[in-house]
């Protein structure tokens, strides 16, 4: 018969409450800095669980208005659990991280996708759409997600951490702040901003620290919005359960942190709050490869994708080239970002022909398991990028037909209470 003696649960090393603001909890931080001490320590080979709040730290609610998205305080993001030190890890080593599982909290079986205001967060099409806040709430049913705000779709999620990385050294942190500061100076009046400098406002370290250390971290700590050499906020949807990651180590113990969990995401996460954001639990195992940075020429992390992937073989693929034909018609030279935008705008225009609003289409392309690839980046002047929309996520036929597309009524996603979109 089964006994408890040989049935030891994997420990949860950091516990959080997804319904409590992040800045009222321990084991959470929202800046990168080498002086943030490890909150917990593990041995290589140990399997352990880490709980994470959603990236905004409980600022977004399960409701039918987007006022919370409009008013979100972006100085307080992203809220990461950690750091987790790994015994024996030294600068120059490679930290191997196995992502064994990623799940939502049982008590919080929902997530959200959002569009931010042009002047508060933005997104890929913030300027083109003069973005106003909108969102979709997604309900989780096992591996599937559905939304009352985007009817007619249901898809399996590829749950993953949007943000995972090791702590920077003091030298690397200084490099980040210098190069991003130079970029800000060169685009001082950009809306949305091109980068975010260190900012004490909203900074949080959920540990007891001497006042001078806390002040130094808050003054110098790098914001967690972009991905960098250590990993960070790269939002790679294939970094799911079963993935193995290879991170460069910059400080003793590596000091791994994780957060911004996603139930699902399309390649590009185009609306910025563009995945199905969730609070949840991630299960890890770690090991160390000594001198791995030199052995593997490790300038940024490497990873093996998950062996678990939803099977959506039938897709409608939209092309885009580096000509702004949805805007002023300007020709760009081999600009893959412009090409991606055109592919996405083509897909949005197509979905609007089916009856979805622009906001619903924008959110859907962000949240669903959409795939994007660089088709060609050699044929000057036009890079070609594709965006593949899985047919199987729809409960109705969306394929082109001789008689045209059948337009249905899908309502609208959650928008601001004043009705502005």
58-92 residue pLDDT tens: 999 999 999 999 999 999 999 999 999 999 999 99
Report the alpha-carbon distance of residue 127 to residue 328 in Å, rounded.
13
- pLDDT per residue over 2-37, tens digit each? 888 888 899 999 999 999 999 999 999 999 999 999
Q: Where are the beta strands (DSSP E) in 11-109?
A: 12-14, 28-29, 40-42, 47-52, 80-86, 94-104
pLDDT of residue 375: 95
Tell me which DSSP letter residue 153 carries. Answer: B
pLDDT of residue 310: 83
pLDDT of residue 3: 83
Report the alpha-carbon distance of residue 355 to residue 415 in Å, rounded.
17
Report the alpha-carbon distance of residue 343 to residue 324 in Å, rounded.
11
pLDDT of residue 152: 98
pLDDT of residue 344: 98
Whether pLDDT at 130 is above 90: yes
What's the pLDDT band for 369 if we cut at 50, 70, 90?
very high
Share above pLDDT 70 across residues of the chain, in percent, rounded to a whole number: 100
CATH 2.60.120.580 placement within the chain: 12-304
Those residues with Cβ within 8 angstroms of residue 71's Cβ, 6 or more apart along the chain or in another chain? none
Phi then psi for residue 237, to 5 deg, are -70, -25
Structure token pair of residue 216: 């130094």
Nearest to 23 by CA among 262, 201, 215: 201
Bridge partners for 245 per DSSP: 97, 303
pLDDT of residue 348: 98
CATH number of 12-304: 2.60.120.580
- Residue predicted with more confidence, 274 or 261: 261
Architecture per CATH, domain 315-413, reads as Roll (3.10)
Range 313-316, long-range pairs (CB < 8 A, 24+ positions):
314/390, 314/391, 314/392, 315/371, 315/388, 315/389, 315/390, 315/391, 316/350, 316/388, 316/389, 316/391, 316/398, 316/399
- pLDDT per residue over 306-359, tens digit each? 888 888 999 999 999 999 999 999 999 999 999 999 999 999 999 999 999 999
Interval 157-177 mean pLDDT: 97
pLDDT of residue 227: 97
Whether pLDDT at 214 is above 90: yes
What's the pLDDT band for 93 if we cut at 50, 70, 90?
very high
Report the alpha-carbon distance of residue 165 to residue 160 in Å, rounded.
13
Structure token pair of residue 69: 């998205």
What's the pLDDT band for 296 if we cut at 50, 70, 90?
very high
Report the alpha-carbon distance of residue 334 to residue 325 in Å, rounded.
15
CATH 3.10.28 placement within the chain: 315-413
């Amino acid at each position: 018969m089964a006994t408890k003696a040989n049935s030891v649960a994997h420990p949860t090393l950091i516990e959080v409450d997804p319904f409590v603001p992040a800045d009222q909890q321990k084991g959470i931080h929202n800046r990168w800095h080498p002086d943030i001490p490890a909150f917990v320590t593990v041995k290589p080979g140990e399997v352990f669980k880490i709980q994470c709040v959603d990236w905004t730290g409980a600022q977004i609610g399960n409701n039918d208005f987007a006022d919370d998205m409009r008013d979100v305080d972006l100085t307080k993001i992203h809220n990461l659990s950690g750091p987790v030190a790994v015994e024996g890890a030294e600068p120059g080593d490679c930290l191997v991280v196995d992502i064994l599982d990623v799940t939502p909290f049982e008590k919080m079986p929902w997530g959200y996708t959002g569009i931010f205001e042009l002047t508060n967060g933005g997104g890929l099409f913030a300027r083109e759409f003069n973005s106003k806040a909108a969102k979709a709430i997604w309900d989780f049913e096992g591996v599937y997600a559905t939304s009352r705000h985007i009817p007619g779709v249901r898809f399996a999620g590829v749950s993953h951490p949007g943000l995972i990385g090791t702590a920077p050294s003091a030298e690397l942190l200084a490099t980040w702040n210098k190069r991003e500061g130079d970029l800000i100076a060169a685009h001082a009046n950009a809306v949305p901003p091109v980068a975010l400098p260190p900012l004490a406002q909203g900074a949080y370290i959920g540990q007891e620290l001497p006042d001078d250390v806390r002040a130094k971290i808050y003054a110098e700590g790098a914001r967690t919005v972009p991905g960098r050499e250590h990993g960070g906020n790269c939002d790679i949807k294939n970094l799911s359960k079963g993935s193995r990651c290879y991170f460069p180590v910059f400080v003793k113990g590596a000091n791994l942190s994780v957060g911004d969990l996603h139930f699902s995401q399309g390649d590009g996460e185009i609306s910025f709050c563009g995945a199905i954001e969730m609070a949840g639990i991630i299960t890890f195992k770690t090991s160390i490869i000594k001198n791995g940075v030199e052995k593997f020429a490790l300038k940024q992390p490497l990873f093996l994708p998950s062996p678990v992937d939803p099977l959506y073989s039938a897709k409608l693929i939209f092309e885009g080239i580096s000509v702004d034909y949805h805007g002023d018609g300007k020709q760009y030279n081999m600009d893959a970002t412009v090409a991606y935008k055109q592919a996405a705008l083509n897909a949005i225009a197509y979905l609007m022909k089916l009856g979805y609003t622009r906001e619903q289409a924008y959110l859907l392309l962000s949240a669903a398991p959409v795939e994007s690839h660089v088709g060609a980046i050699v044929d000057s002047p036009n890079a070609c990028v594709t965006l593949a929309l899985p047919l199987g996520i729809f409960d109705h036929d969306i394929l082109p037909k001789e008689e045209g597309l059948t337009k249905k009524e899908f309502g609208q996603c959650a928008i601001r209470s004043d009705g502005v979109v």
